[in-house]
Amino acid sequence: MRLILVDRLTEKRFHFYPLALSRPVWELRCGMTSLLDKLLDRLFDRLETFEVAYFVPPYMADAYRESTSRSVNDPASLRGDDLLVVDARVKAAGFDVEPAGPSQVAVDADGEVLYAQIARADLEKLNTESIDALLDSAKGLLPSAEGSVPVWSYTWDLILANPEQLVADFAAAGRCGVEGTVEEPVAIRGSKKDVYVAPGALIHPMVVLDAAAGPIYIDEDVEIHPFTRVEGPCYVGKKSILLGAKCREGNSIGPMCRIGGEVEESIIHGYSNKYHDGFLGHAYVGEWVNLGALTTNSDLKNDYSTVSVTLDGKQPVDTGSTKVGALIGDHAKTSIGTLFNTGAYIGAMALIAATGKPLPKHIPSFAWFLEGVVTKGFGKGKLYETARTAMGRRGREWTEAQEAMWNEVFNMTKPVRSEAVKRGRRLLAAGKFAH
């Protein structure tokens, strides 16, 4: 059997921006692992062996190929085997399809395919020239599956599910105890069965691991500096460093992050830094982000009403939750003292200079936020230079495929950015004339 994971450029994909601008949705994280890991684990529970192939938005295919040995966007993977085609938004938990079952198709309320089970014999009846053609023909010719399929709808779903998922993932990992180094005195609250310190991890003296309300998983080669308090449930990824941090419950951090200050119920992808003081709560932070000292986000409104997020720069979307912090895209950088409003959207590659006031709730990708307005700044070339430097410092390469992908992201996000730049110009001109 072959599992085909599909991430199509649909309207619903946009719900996962800015994080999904540069990665398939299944590379987003919740708990200790990615959504991909969870889907694969779910199937491994039922099947001992299966192949995996991916279909991603064409503009990111070359870049994604660099990070996987599996087939990406190859129509040949649509032929010659039983297929289980699964949309990137499908939640692993509750996805109870029997892989060896009969051919059938499940769609969402808008008719988009969530999964298609296709027996090899039935493939001959279908159009296998492309993933879109396959899904369209499968929808027309195969019987509909019964029952509902749980899906992730927005990025904040992952944030809100993170604490519970951390508990489930810790139990699934089945590890506890100290295999790394713990320098006394370190206080472990709660049951020691709810703490795992992996080999190579180093916990300095005067650290508190509080597992009373949930488990704590400290992965390999993590270093935790004195006066850090880690409250479970929490996952700290490989080679991350906590610098006197106040890690409240529900965080997924790393790998290779540097985290200080106060962090609560947030998901932080690899290679991102929040080295200094400042609060990050109910936030989702991409890769290679650098948050300057005292950068802080609000995650709760003063009137306790539900938080809205403006994904497209125009229409707010009600999250239905009273707690949602910032969504911060890959390679975004903030200056010291940056203040993000509740439910802020910070585009990928955005560069932000603080104003002393909470910033607008939507800052487009590739925006240079200077003097309180969105500008074109010094252009994307300078941002690429910075990205290349940041990655080089951690032994990672900025490749041609990545640059091509980001060029496409730049073009895709241009209309929203251009509007914001025009507004910024008008504000700037009004300010200058006023002088």
Determine if 355 is a binding residue for another protein (CB under 8 A). Answer: no
Determine if 375 is a binding residue for another protein (CB under 8 A). Answer: yes
SS3 assignment, position 427: helix
Minimum distance between the CB of residue 353 and another protein, rounded to whole angstroms? 8
Determine if 372 is a binding residue for another protein (CB under 8 A). Answer: no
Minimum distance between the CB of residue 341 and another protein, rounded to whole angstroms? 23
SS3 assignment, position 66: coil
How big, in percent rounded to 5, are the helix, strand and coil portions of the chain? 30, 25, 45
Q: Is residue 257 within a helix (H) or strand (E), and if so which, with residue range?
A: none
Instruction: Tell me which of 75, 200, 316, 377 binds another protein, using CB under 8 A.
Output: 377
Name the token pair of 132: 């879109």
296 burial type by CB count under 10 A (0-12 exposed, 13-18 middle, 19+ buried): buried
CA distances in angstroms from 149 to 15, 91, 113, listed in the order given? 18, 8, 10
Minimum distance between the CB of residue 425 and another protein, rounded to whole angstroms? 5
Residues 416-435 that bind another protein (CB under 8 A): 418, 421, 424-426, 428-429, 432-433, 435
Question: For residue 226, how far is the Cα from the chain centroid?
Answer: 29
Determine if 376 is a binding residue for another protein (CB under 8 A). Answer: yes
Give the binding range for another protein (CB under 8 A) out of 38-46, 118-126, 176-184, 373-381: 373-381
Give the binding range for another protein (CB under 8 A) out of 17-25, 187-195, 376-384, 391-399: 376-384
Q: Supply the DSSP symbol for 399.
A: -
Give the binding range for another protein (CB under 8 A) out of 16-24, 83-91, 356-364, 370-378: 370-378
Give the binding range for another protein (CB under 8 A) out of 71-79, 177-185, 322-330, 378-386: 378-386
In total, the chain counts a number of residues equal to 435
Give the binding range for another protein (CB under 8 A) out of 160-168, 241-249, 310-318, 364-372: 364-372
Q: How many chain residues interact with another protein (CB under 8 A)?
A: 20
Determine if 379 is a binding residue for another protein (CB under 8 A). Answer: yes
Distance CA 234, CA 206 (A): 18
Name the token pair of 84: 């289980």
Instruction: Tell me which of 59, 115, 368, 406 binds another protein, using CB under 8 A.
Output: 368
Minimum distance between the CB of residue 23 and another protein, rounded to whole angstroms? 27
Give the binding range for another protein (CB under 8 A) out of 23-31, 66-74, 114-122, 365-373: 365-373
- Residue pair 400/384 in contact (Cβ under 8 Å)? The answer is no
Instruction: Tell me which of 76, 381, 393, 395 binds another protein, using CB under 8 A.
Output: 381
How many CB atoms lie under 10 A from the CB of residue 408? 17
- Backbone dihedral angles phi then psi of residue 149, each to the nearest 5 degrees: -115, 120
Determine if 411 is a binding residue for another protein (CB under 8 A). Answer: no
Minimum distance between the CB of residue 351 and another protein, rounded to whole angstroms? 11
Minimum distance between the CB of residue 136 and another protein, rounded to whole angstroms? 39
Task: Work out the end-to-end distance of the chain between its first and last CA atoms, rounded to an integer number of angstroms.
Answer: 70
Determine if 371 is a binding residue for another protein (CB under 8 A). Answer: yes
Minimum distance between the CB of residue 397 and another protein, rounded to whole angstroms? 23
Closer CB to another protein, residue 26 or residue 384? 384
Distance CA 53, CA 79 (A): 11
**For 394, what's the count of Cα atoms within 13 Å in the CB-facing half-sphere?**
19
> Which residues are bridge partners to 116 per DSSP?
85, 105
Determine if 385 is a binding residue for another protein (CB under 8 A). Answer: no
Minimum distance between the CB of residue 350 and another protein, rounded to whole angstroms? 14
Distance CA 223, CA 210 (A): 17
CA nearest 254: which of 281, 230, 220, 282? 220
Residues within the interface to another protein (CB under 8 A):
353, 368, 370-371, 375-379, 381, 418, 421, 424-426, 428-429, 432-433, 435
